[in-house]
Amino acid sequence: MSYRDEIVKAMNMLGENPRTIFIGQNVVYSGATTVHETLKDIPADKKIELPVMEDVQMGISIGLALEGFIPVSIYPRMDFLMLAMNQLVNHLDKIEEMSCGRFKPKVIIRTCVGSTKPLHPGPQHSQDHTSGVDFLLQTIEVVRLTRAERIMPAYKRAMETDHSTVLVELSENMRD
């Protein structure tokens, strides 16, 4: 299977869980095809479209997780995830410690490193911050999805584990 097909398969697998909710930009309305097209089989009532407000999106995702949902919080570009770092690093990553173990919200964070071909979108849409994000997080696993065969196992692990996960897709691999 192709990289894109594996992403679609992974999203459908996540969508089968009654607790998952897909939240972010382009989850309902087209824009970033790397997001919208991969969610085409997800029921509309499991998707929440948001405007550009990355920090608030992460806060909403944490709140949903605290209420028992499993948010799949989607940031179409990894550069956009940088705007949610306060919530990610200082809240989601530390809530268990801050609450003396009472709270352990689980969020699956899906993001993508933008491709520079065939057209270069500019540096603010194509940077890979995987190692930096991994360095900042203590309890959240960060997984860079370099090959198609890694996608389903990584998303299955994210679904089965009891902690949050950041999954970094590579849009250059979506062009099959």
- pLDDT the model gives residue 156: 98
Task: Note the residue count of the chain.
Answer: 176
The residues pairing with 127 across neighbouring beta strands, listed in sequence order, are none
Crossing angle (nearest 10°) for helices 3-15 and 151-160: 20
Say whether 33 sits in a helix, a strand or coil: helix
Could you tell me how many helices (H) and strands (E) the chain has, helices first?
8, 6
The pLDDT of residue 12 is 98
What CATH number does the domain located at 3-174 have? 3.40.50.970
Note the Cα 74 to chain centre separation in Å: 4
Q: What is the pLDDT of residue 114?
A: 75
Can you give the residue ranges of every domain in the chain? 3-174
pTM of the model: 0.94
- Is residue 176 within 8 Å of 121, Cβ to Cβ? no
Q: How far apart are CA 76 and CA 176, in angstroms?
A: 19
Q: 3-class DSSP state for residue 18?
A: coil
Q: What is 140-172 written as a DSSP string? A: SEEEE--SGGGHHHHHHHHHHSSS-EEEEEEGG
Q: Are strands 20-24 and 47-49 parallel, antiparallel or unpaired?
A: parallel
pLDDT tens, per residue, the chain with 176 residues: 899 999 999 999 999 999 999 999 999 998 766 788 999 999 999 999 999 999 999 999 999 999 999 999 999 999 999 999 999 999 999 999 999 999 999 999 999 987 767 776 777 777 788 999 999 999 999 999 999 999 999 999 999 999 999 999 998 777 65
**Alpha carbons 21 and 86: distance in angstroms, whole number:** 22
